[in-house]
Structure formats: C-alpha cells, structure tokens
Structure 1
Amino acid sequence: MAAVGKKGERMRGRSLWGWLGAVLFVLCGGPITADALARPAAIPAIPRLEKADLDAWLDGYMLYALKRGDAAGAVVVVVKDGAVLTQRGFGFADVATRRPVDPETTLFRQASVSKLVTWTAVMQLVEQGKIDLDRDVNAYLDFRIPAFDGKPVTMRNLMTHTAGFEEVQRGLNSYDPAKVPSLGAALKRQVPYRIFAPGTTPAYSNFGTSLAGYIVERVSGLSFDDYVERHIFTPAGMTRSSFRQPLPASLRPLMASGYMLGSGKPGPFELSSLSPSGGMTASGADMGRFMIAHLADGGALMKPATAAQMHRTILRLIPPLNGMALGFYEQNINGRKALSHAGDSLNFHSQLWIFPEEKVGIYMSMNAAGRQNVSGPIRSHLFDAFADRYFPFTLRDGRVDARTARDHARLMVGTYNKTRRLESSFLKAMELAGQVKVSLDAEGGIVLSLSPGLGGQARKWVEIEPFVWRELGGKMRLAAQVDNGRVVRFSLDSGSPYVAFDRVPWYLSTAWLTPAFLVSLGALLLTAIAWPAAALVRRRYGVASGLSPAARKSYRLTRGFAALAVAVVAGWILFVSRLVRDFSSLNGELDGVLIALQLVTPVAFLGLFASAVWNIRHVWTEARGRFAKFWGIVMLIAAVVLLWVGVGFHLIGFGTRF
C-alpha cells in the first residue's frame, strides 16, 4: 500500500505540472493533425497584440490555471505604448465572501516587487546628485558596514545584489505590528556577515535593498514611506499603493485575503520589518501605472537619461546568461530584452516584466500559493506563452560535438550550493536537504536535482556552445564558469542575475554527508532502543552481561549518549520546522528553546564521541564477540559523523543570530 501511495503522489505531481503544459500547448497553437500534415505548410499569422485577442487568450489560460492549481485569485495588467491595453481580475479577492478581484481597487502584497520602487527612489536621488553609485555607503549611514578584504560596499553593489551579504532571517517578518521596529532599528540590530567580495558574486539580499531604502531616508530627510508617497506614488498616479504597515484605514477594505490554497483558510496580513525590500501593497492598476512610467523613459518619475541608466544591463557574471541592470534584472526572451522582478511572500506571489524597446509591460499577482506552489509555474509559463504568441522567435542554437559534450557534462558532476545562503548560523544545517546535485543521465547528459520541467520530470539539457546548455524543447539556458579546467560555478537564465551555484568542498558535500548522517542516526536510534530491550531480556532470563565494571560503565554511557544525541537531532528538526512553517516565530519567541538546544548539543555530540572511543577500547581489549566489536565501530563512526555535522553546519555554536 505504501508503494501505491507514493506512486499516486508522483502521478498527482506530474499531472499538476502536465496540465500547464497542455494548456500552453493549445494556447500557443494546438496539436498538429493528420490533415494538417497532408497540406502544404502555411506560415501562421502572428496575432496582433490587441485587447480583444489578449482578453480571449487570458481567459483561456487564467481561469483554468486558477481552478486547477487551487489558487484563489489573480490580477493581470498589460500596458502598451503608454496606455493600459487590458487589466483583468480573475477569481476571488476573498473566497468566503465571494468578493471578486477588481484590477483597479483590489490590493495585493507585492513582496520583492517592492524593490523596484525602492530602486526608483534611489535613482531619483542619483539624478539629483545626492547619491553616488560608486561611493562607500558608509558615507550615508549612521552605523558601519564593515569592508571585505578592504573593499567597501557601494550603492551599485546593493542595486546589483553583489554586496556579498549572507542571508538573514531573524525578525524579517511578523504578523504583529508591535514587533515591527523602525527601518533603522531593524537594520542595526543584525548586520549580516559578508561572505563574498563586493562585485564578484550574485547573492540576492533583502538587507541590501532595505539598506538602500534607509539611505533614501537619510539623504532625503523624509521617512521612506513619506518619500515614496510624495515622489513616486503621487506623480505616477498610484493612489492605491502604500508601504505603510499596517495599511492606512482607507485602504484596508480593499485588501485581498491571502491563502496557501484557495480552498483553505486565509492567513493574517504579512508584515515586513525590512519594508523597502518587500513591504509594498498595491492594486494591479497602480502597478500598470508604474510600468507605464518606466516605459515612457521615466515618465514623471525621472529623466530619460536616468531611466536609460537604470534599465541598462551593467553586470553579467556568467555570460551569456541573463544579467543585472540597476535594480531590474534581465529575463530576456525570444531575442528581445525584457526586464523583470518577482516577489513572493507566504500567500502573495507577483511578477512584473517590461519590454523597453517594444514599450510593453506585463504584471501579474496572485493571492495564493496554490497546490504544490503552482503560482510560480503559472506566472512563468504565462510570460513564456505571451512572448511566444506576440513576439515569436525561432531559436538557432549551435551544437557541441558528442564527445566534447560528454566530457563537459562529466566536469559538471558534483554538489553545489546557492550563493544566496545562510552561512554562519545553525540554519546552515538546512543545506543537508538543500544542496543541488548535478549528475549524469544514461546518455551522458547532465541532470539537476532542481528546477523540474513541465511534467515534473528532470529537464534534458543540450550543450549549444562550450559549457552553455539549453533545455531540450525549451528556452532555459544553463552556463558554467570554468577555472583551470574545473567547473566552479553555474547558474540558470531564470536566476543568473541574482544567484549562482558554487561547488561545495568535499567535506561539506551532502552527496555523502546526508546519507552518512541518516545512517548514523538510524544506528544510534537502534542502539538507544536495543539498550533497554536487551536489559529486560537479560533480567527476564537471569543472564548476566559478563562485562567488567569499567566496560559496563562505557557501555551504558555510550547508549545513554546515543539516546541523547537522537533526541537533540529531533529537537533541532522540530525547531527549524517551526521557524520555516511560521515566520512569526523568527522574532525571538523561541530563543529559550534555541539556547537550550545550543547548550545540550555539544554535551550530546562530544559525550557520544568520548564514550564511543572509551567503549571501543573495552570492546577490543576484552573477550567480546564479533558483533560487539562491529557495533562498537559503527557507534564510533556515527559519533564522528554527528560531530562533523555539528561543527560543519553550526549546530555546535552559540548565539541567536540567524
């Protein structure tokens, strides 16, 4: 029955991805029939990007996508040539009351799409000469950002996500307004460690964007909320937009409810302590006005030269993949430049795209993650299908010869870690399940353990030029950075502007460490269970252990520490699961539990190691059986593995930074 259940889960996963592929297949042209094959091929007419065609096309995709994906509602806005082409609401802003999504008035949390407003504010001050993109940001702050290898952080680094900050989570989000500090206080309470030299590595940073927002405050003399209202929302005509948390009373009735599943219960209003990076609320219509301003060479927001500077790609760390502009990142498609930014909170999921040369923009937001987090595929496939329909393009890739392709694929094999990562705290242990593995398929091609294709299957990759691959039958590219004949980093088009994957050193590679850790835990759990069971059996039949007093003590200590170590690992799993499941717990409510775990972990792991060494000494020097000797070795290896994980992934350590 268990096998049947797993198969059912796989089938449900495949069908959920598969229906998106089927819908897009029909929307982008439909199947080829036998009659069509018998007729001479005709060049299909390219649909004109007009409201009637666009509305019909959106109806065919969005209504089915929301229903199939168990998503509550969505808004889609398309602008063209300085005007709104269409703005559509789909589904419900509130499921219980059946309140429909109104593109003009319904408000959505923007999450990281908010960053584009922050970067626009920065560029206004650059235009006025009040901010220098290449000056040390400490010149604008009332606290210090330490240099890395003597190199300071600049505003250009912040805008391209190359300041080198590690990821931080503590206090990032809350549901309680009383627990959201001022922007300055939120930034000062925990400055992230720098793990990369500035300008060298894409590592997406909410802290970095919010630091820029604080500089806007410091330079302008206004609070960030006041600044964007006066200098962005008002001139752009964005009357239903706000960074204020909680929302002003006049806007609260317009707020959409947020859901994990459309069929589930709504969640509370999500608050961000780093508001410039993710705290904006806006209607779809207002986001359309924001796109129009940027597509109109800055419109009322900035001069054309400033807009051109902001939209110009200035950093491409892994050519030829998508690069980074100032705040916007490339999502180029079908031979056309497209600039974008996405944003995801627990319950709201948005993305904005602009085609600067075509003067076309698309915005989409959903108020539910949907089944299997389908909100991401829905919006990315919408963008792909939109481009294929209205901006079609024929790819003309090259091809690397088969022998070279196999050699390059073998060089890619290994374990990699995201550059946007939690490096210095106990949350690094999440890497045990989160590193990316690159392996070979039966044909010698590369296989990634992330980013499945439409059917939930592993993507197939074809090498189109040295160390550049394209998804077979798709648009996605993958490229690697090679140093001295060794692949050290790779990325994908979808995230290359702001994140990459670095090869993990062998001693932290989960390719061997995760299996070793799980086997070790299993051995320790069996040991902990067998200890009292064996004692009961001996007592029942009156059999003595036959151990010397010292051997008996080492035996008992080893079993006791084995039980304690298993309990500690279980405690860490439950603790981290709580943090991931409920981000309101990131504000210090569980610090007591964290400190207790940090106190007991070294006792358990070091005690297990010491007792295992002592135990194996007695096992090998006394007349013990083969199994006792074998299990003594197993216990020692398990103790070493746990200690290795504890040190390498910071489970052994103290402090409430994370």
Structure 2
Amino acid sequence: MNTRIRNPIFAFLISIMLFIVFSVPAYAADTTNIGKTPSGIPYDRLEQEIDGYVNSHIGKSTPGAAIVVTKGDKVIFSKGYGYANIEKKTAVDPASTVFAYGSINKAFVWTSVMQLVEAGKMELDQDIRAFFPEEFAKKLRYDKSITMLDIMSHTAGYEQHPLSTFVPSAESLTSLEETLSSSQPEQIYEPGKVIAYSNYATALAGLAVEKVSGESFADYEMNHILRPLGMNRSSGHPTLGDHPDLREAEATGYAVKQEGGFEERARYYVPLHPAGAMEGTAEDLARFVMALNDPDSPLFTRPETLRSMLSRSYTPNGEILSNAHGFWEYRAEPHVVGHSGNVKGFSGNFAVVPDERLGIVVLTNMEIEQKLTSGIIDLLVQDKTKAPEIKVPAADLSPSGRLAGYYVQSGGTYTTYHELINYLGLIKVEAKGEHDLTLSVMGLSGDLKQISPNVYKFDKSDDPRFERLAPILYAEISDGQVVRLSKGIATDILPVKGSRSIPALMCYLVLAAIAVIFFMLAPLVILIRWLLRKRKGSPPTLATHRLLTATIVCGTLLTINILYLLINALINENVTVGQMNFGVTLNWVLTILAGTLMVLSFVKGKHQTEFKRIKRTRIGVAVLFSGFTLLLANWHFFHFIP
C-alpha cells in the first residue's frame, strides 16, 4: 500500500494545521514584550530605559545594583550593575549575588499570616494576646485589642525601642520569644489610631506564626514560601544557619563617606529577625513577586486569599494611599503594592501590579539608597503625563491656618531619655494663603496644595527629596484640634504637646545651659580657690563649705553622665539596654547623694557662723540643682528602659 499523500488539497490542509499547531505557542510566548508599562514605556524598550536611568546613578548613589522585571510567570529583564565588592571588583549578578533584603522580609511575614488565616488557624481581627503569655499583656497600656490588622498597618501603638535594630555578634542572639519578652517597648498610642512603623510589632506577628504553626519562623518561611517557590538562594534565618553557603556569594554592604565615595559596613545580625534578617538574590525575590502576581499562586490554596492580601486593608482617609495587609500602596494606576527595605549597607524595593501581572525588584548594596530603589519603580509605574488631579471649589476647602505649628514624627521613642532626639528634627507647618501649606524640616522646605478638604498634595520644592518626604498629607481633625497629619505610610506627624511647645523647649534649653555651664565650670573655680588658699596658708574651710563642694562635684558628675548618655544615644549604635540602665542608675545615685549632702550642708549651716556669700551660694546651688533634676525627670533621665 502506497502511504504517500496524493491529494494536493489534502496536503495543503495538513500543512495549514501543522503551521497553526506549532506557531501559535511560539507567538504566545512573545506577548510579554507587547504593550507598555503603567508609566508608558514600551516593553521592547525596557532595557534601554532602565540602562539609561541606572547608568546615571550607578557608582554615585550605590556601588552596585541588581534589577529584575517580571511579566506573568516570566522574567523579561534581569541585569546586574556595578560592583558587589569594590575592592575585588566583583560584578553584580542578579542570579547569584546575595543581598540583604531588609524590611522586604516583612512581606514574607504577612504572607505567612495570610496562609494561616486561609487555613483557619488565625483570624485577622482577633486579639493577638491569645497567642502570647500573660506577662506580655501586663505591659500593654490600652485595654483595646491589638489585632493582626493593626500590626500589618503599623498601628499597634508601639513606640520605637531605643535598643539598636542590629547587633554585631551572633553570640548575642536569643530565641525570638526571649528577644521580644526581654525588650518590649511601651505602647503609647491607642491601637488603630496612629501609624508608627514598628519592627517589634512585625516580629510579634512572626512569633504568632511560630506559636500557631509549631515551627520556628525561619523554618516556616523556608518550608512554606522559599522552597515551594524555588527560592533556593535565599534564607530568613538570623545567622543563615540553614543556608551557610550564601555567605560566599554575599555582596559587601556600603555607606557613604563624608568626604565622598563609599566605605564598607561591618557585618551585623538582626535580633527581631522576621522584621528584616532575610538575604537572597534578586532573581529569587522575583520568584516571590511572580507568585504574588499569579492568580493560581502556589502560596495559597484559594485565589481569593491572594486578592484579599493585596487589597487595601487600612487607610486614614479614602484619598490617601496606605496599606494592603502589610504591603504599602503606590500612587499609580492600576493598583500597585510593594515593600522597601533598608539595613546597614543595603537598600531594596519591590512592587507588584496585579492587574498587569507586572513585578519589579531592585536591590542595592548601599544603605538609605533611593535614587534606584524608588526611582526604578517610579520609572515603570508612575505615569508622568497624567493630567493633574481636579481641585474641588475653593469654597469647599478647609482653612489651613489651624494646622500651623510644630510637629514630631510618631515613630520615635517618647518614654525614655531618647525622647530628646526627636526634637532635634522638629517639623514646622505654616499656612500658605488660605488653603495651602508650607512644611520645613531638617533644612528641607516645600509647598503642599489642598486638593480636597484636609487633603494636601505636594506642589513644589527646591529639593527633590521633599516630595518623597511628604507626597500627600491628610489632616485629621477632631473637635477642632489637629490629631495628626498622615501620609498613610510608615509614620504619622503629630502636633507637639504643650509641655514640648517651642516656648517650653526654650525654657528647658536655658535652664539646661545654665546648669551645664555652672556644674562644668564650678569645680575648676573651686580648685583654683583651694590652690590659692593653700598657697596663702589659710585655715581649712568649714564642714558646711566642704559639704557644699561635694554637692557641686556630684552635680558635675551627673552633668557629665547626662552628656555621655546623650552622645551615646546619638552615635553608639551598639549600646545595650544594660549600658543604658547603668547610666540611669548612676543618675539616681548621684542625685540622691547630692541631695543628701545638700541637706546636711543646710543642717550644719544652722549651727555654724558663715558668710552671707556662702549662704547665698548654698541656696543658689540648691535651687539650680533641684531645677536641673526636675528637668531631667521631665525628660525621663531617671526612667529605666524595659
């Protein structure tokens, strides 16, 4: 039997069918390069646009960077720039160079929580005290429940703990539960009321995952997220104990030198490790990003869980972009969410556009870097040609005069002597015309225009950094008083209290200056007088005078200790709670000793004949020392750090 196809029409039809079968998949595979990014960049020009932007900053804002862009389930751009190590001239490779993810780790905490919620083992609105020992609840100030949603939106109410986020030695690390219980910051805001970015609260969520799952957080993260996604070059273990081979591929972290250039950062560890200890490659993080963009994500069993996680869960105002179950929203269309990270020597950022199934990953080996970590994402998702927002009629806008005054950021420490540091960066708000605002902080100044009642959008500034500081603000007013100015992300801006107003701060400063100058110079004067008396052979001083001298010396030692504590708080990032509390103990000892000596001096003075000058001096020293100690108490210098 002859098997050749003799009918030419039949042969033609077979050829058409084969062409369709084999050519359609190939054509479909190229659809990822069709169309434009949300900012309007054609995908077939992606490399040129990213190269042009990165090359203008690489070597200036950071030694190296890795950038990956994904579309659907494919990587459509992956490239390394600059050096992972300057001295060795090691090039960055997005597939193999390991970066510290920093707070990007928090996105893995929120994903873990949502997995357990989906499994019915957690509820987002349940009181988190159900997961922890009773001792934990005793330290909370408010009876109102802290929920997982509060933690995700950073509205649990915790102040920033003065203890450093980093430690230099792995030997000082303890279990997550021990770390959290030994250094619990104060709860100073009612849950759900104020955005105050909290590494501690995030680590609490990680501990809740441990309690519910029965696994350490690092193990849970590895078993339920990293391995299932094929993130084989990443680890969330605080010492990389489950992936020590990653050490060999780590990029070197850098900071900017004052004289220019970069300086290498020393190795560090993160005790609150769920909040920022993860390390990995850019392409590994891209696998996580693709899973967030996949409607049938391997992270969850039901598609609605992923959709819920990436949808808005909190905002201070409907016009303010804020929080999507721990992910931060971007001002872009369509909806964009993501999370940045910053630790010693490293900065990073990622964003996902679920409607476009677009993902962006940017990792650098430079701390506090924003030119690339923010700039690349803005380049791809922000439409610069979009028309400005339509303003409501001026008659419907709110008067801005009542917002004028001084503000501080909510994310500081306010129950220990570290509170003083917050007032070195006061934010000044002034009314501009009837409806607009001018903000000034740390040498930066910019204008915001009111676009709807109590909502202000960045208008202009001489410094491009200002727009990132305050892109949009919502003024929450209650009973005619300003409750907060909120940009919806990371930290709110709160009006200063009456006891911390500018007139009060000036009075404190004058009193502190007088006390410091007196107690630092008085011992020198006393020494000179003692030498002169000794030279002249004068008789010994009275006991009351010696007691007064001892009181002044105690005041001098107290002043030196206060200055040491403040300098240590500003420059020593490795100071421990024990060292801080030793300083507080010394304050107590010196104050009690000085007070005792002063009382004895007054008692002795009643039974001895003294010059009026000595009596006036004693009274003056007593008044000054009492005022100084009251000032120190007002600023928590006698408060032990928990």
CA distance in 1, matches of 2:601, 2:481: 40
User: 8 Å contact 2:162–2:418 — kept in the other structure?
Assistant: no
Structure 1: distance between partners of 2:67 and 2:595: 56
State the partner residue of 1:464. 451
Sort the Cα spacing of 1:604 and 1:516 in 2 relative to 1 into closer, same or farther, 3 A.
Answer: farther
Farther-moved stretch of structure 1 (255-264 vs 83-92): 255-264
The residue number in structure 2 matching 1:308 is 307
Task: Tell me, in whole angstroms, the C-alpha distance in 2 between the residues paired with 1:465 and 1:606.
Answer: 58
Deviations 1:183-214 (CA, angstroms, capped at 9, x unpaired): 22222223333222222322222222222222
Residues 55-109 of structure 1, C-alpha deviations (whole Å, 9 max, x = no match): 222222222223333x221122222233222122111111111101111111111
Per-residue deviation, 1:118:
1.2
Q: Which residue of 1 aligns with 2:181?
A: 188
Task: Measure, in 2, the Cα distance between the counterparts of 1:472 and 1:638.
Answer: 49
- In 1: Cα distance, 2:256 partner to 2:482 partner: 40
- The whole-number CA distance in structure 2 between the counterparts of 1:133 and 1:430 is 35
Separation of aligned partners in 2, 1:297 and 1:521: 61
Contact 1:316/1:497 (8 A) holds in 2: no
- Residue 638 of structure 1: CA displacement? 6.1
Is the Cα contact below 8 Å between 1:166 and 1:420 reproduced in 2?
A: yes
Aligned to 1:31: none
Look up the SS of the partner of 1:173 in the other structure.
Answer: coil
Tell me, yes or no, if the aligned pair for 2:295 and 2:303 is still in contact at 8 Å. Answer: yes
Within-5 A mapping of 1:154-303: 154-170=147-163, 172-247=165-240, 248-261=243-256, 263-297=261-295, 299-302=297-300, 303=302
* Paired position in structure 1 for 2:628: 642
CA separation in 2, counterparts of 1:400 and 1:551? Answer: 75
Q: Which moved more, 1:236-245 or 1:263-272?
A: 263-272
| 1:294 shift after superposition | 0.5
Task: Find the aligned partners of 1:364 and 1:593 in 2 and give their Cα distance.
Answer: 42
1:379 and 1:605 map into 2 onto residues whose CA distance is 54
Give 5+ residue unaligned stretches, structure 1: 1-44, 615-620
Change (3 A) 1:549 1:275: same
CA positional deviation for 1:534: 8.4
Q: 2:474 aligns with which of 450, 474, 479?
A: 479
Q: Relative to 1, partners in 2 of residues 1:592 and 1:210: Cα closer, same or farther, differing over 3 Å? A: closer
State the match for 2:341 in structure 1. Answer: 343
Q: CA deviation at 1:349?
A: 1.1
Q: Which moves more between the two structures, 569-578 or 236-245? A: 569-578
Asked if 1:57 is matched to 2:49, the reply is yes
The reply on whether 1:503 has 2:495 as its aligned counterpart is yes
Partner residue, 2:415: 424
Change (3 A) 1:652 1:213: same
Question: What one-letter code is carried by the residue in structure 2 that aligns with 1:567?
Answer: I
Counterpart position of 2:381: 387
The offset of 1:568, in angstroms, is: 2.8
> Is structure 2 residue 96 aligned with structure 1 residue 96?
no
CA–CA separation in structure 2 for the residues paired with 1:348 and 1:640: 47
Which AA in structure 2 matches 1:54?
L
CA distance, structure 2, for counterparts of residue 634 and residue 378 of structure 1: 59
Name the amino acid aligned to 1:258.
G
Q: Residue 594 of structure 1 corresponds to which residue in structure 2?
A: 583
Q: Single out whichever of 197-206 and 553-562 deviates more from structure 2.
A: 553-562
**8 Å contact kept, 1:568–1:600:** no
Correspondence 1:578-593 to 2 at 5 A: 578-579=571-572, 582-583=573-574, 585-586=575-576, 588=578, 590=579, 593=582
Q: 2:364 matched to which residue of 1?
A: 366
Confirm or deny that 1:488 pairs with 2:486.
Answer: no
- Residues 1:529 and 1:127: Cα distance change in structure 2 (over 3 Å): same
- Do the aligned partners of residues 350 and 513 (structure 1) sit closer, same or farther apart at CA in structure 2, a change above 3 Å counting? farther
Structure 2 distance, partners of 1:439, 1:609, is 47
Structure 1 residue 402: Cα displacement: 9.9
1:535 and 1:223 map into 2 onto residues whose CA distance is: 61
* Equivalent residue letter for 2:204: L
The 3 A distance-change label for structure 1 pair 366 and 645 is farther
Give the distance between the partners of 1:460 and 1:94, measured in 2 at CA: 41
Letter in 1 for 2:169: D
What do residues 34-73 of structure 1 show as CA deviations (whole Å, max 9, x unaligned)? Answer: xxxxxxxxxxx9985445522222222222223333x221
Give the alignment's TM-score, normalised by structure 1.
0.78
Q: How far, CA to CA, are the matches of 1:132 and 1:412 in structure 2?
A: 38
2:558 touches 2:587 (CA, 8 Å); kept in 1?
no
For the structure 1 residues 468 and 639, does the alpha-carbon distance in structure 2 shift closer, same or farther, using more than 3 Å as the test?
Answer: farther
| Distance in 2 between residues matched to 1:467 and 1:612, nearest whole Å | 60
Distance 2:227 2:122 in 1: 22
On the 8 A contact 2:498/2:504 being kept in 1, the answer is no
Deviation, 1:560, is: 4.3
**Paired residue type of 1:586:** T
The one-letter code matched in structure 1 to 2:633 is V
For the 8 Å contact 1:416–1:503, the answer to whether it is kept is yes
Q: Structure 1 171/479 Cα, relative in aligned 2: closer, same or farther at 3 Å?
A: closer
TM-score norm. by structure 2 comes to 0.80
Other-structure match for 1:376: 370
Query: Secondary structure of the residue that 2:51 maps to in structure 1?
Result: helix
Tell which structure's C-alpha radius of gyration is larger. 2
Larger CA deviation: 527-536 vs 102-111: 527-536
Q: For the Cα contact (< 8 Å) 1:572–1:597, is it kept in 2? A: no
> How many Å separate the matches in 2 of 1:550 and 1:505?
45
**Alpha carbons 2:390, 2:451 under 8 Å: kept:** yes
Aligned to 2:11: none
SS at match of 2:363: strand
Q: Is the 8 A contact 2:551 2:595 kept in 1?
A: no
Tell me what 2:463 maps to: none
Which shifted more, 216-225 or 434-443?
434-443
1:118 maps to what in 2? 109
**Structure 1 position 633, deviation (Å):** 11
Distance change (3 Å), C-alpha of 1:538 and 1:78: same
Bigger shift: 179-188 or 436-445? 436-445
Show the counterpart of 2:19: none
CA distance in 1, matches of 2:526, 2:299: 77
Amino acid at match of 1:380: S
Does structure 1 residue 139 correspond to structure 2 residue 133?
no
Amino acid of the structure 2 residue aligned with 1:529: L
AA partner of residue 428 (structure 1):
E
Q: Distance in 2 between matches of 1:126 and 1:635?
A: 63
Assess if the C-alpha contact under 8 Å between 1:75 and 1:88 holds in 2: yes
Counterpart CA distance in 2 for 1:587 and 1:535 is 36
Which shows bigger deviation, 93-102 or 527-536?
A: 527-536
Q: Which residue of 2 aligns with 1:18?
A: none
One-letter code aligned to 1:466? P
Which residues of structure 2 form unaligned runs of 5+? 1-36, 461-466, 604-609
Matching residue of 2:566:
573
Cα-to-partner distance string for 1:382-408 (whole Å, 9 max, x where unaligned): 3333334x6742112416749977x41
Aligned-residue RMSD, C-alpha: 4.0
1:377 Cα deviation after fit: 4.7
The 1-side partners of 2:324 and 2:435 are apart by: 36
Percent of aligned pairs sharing the same letter = 25
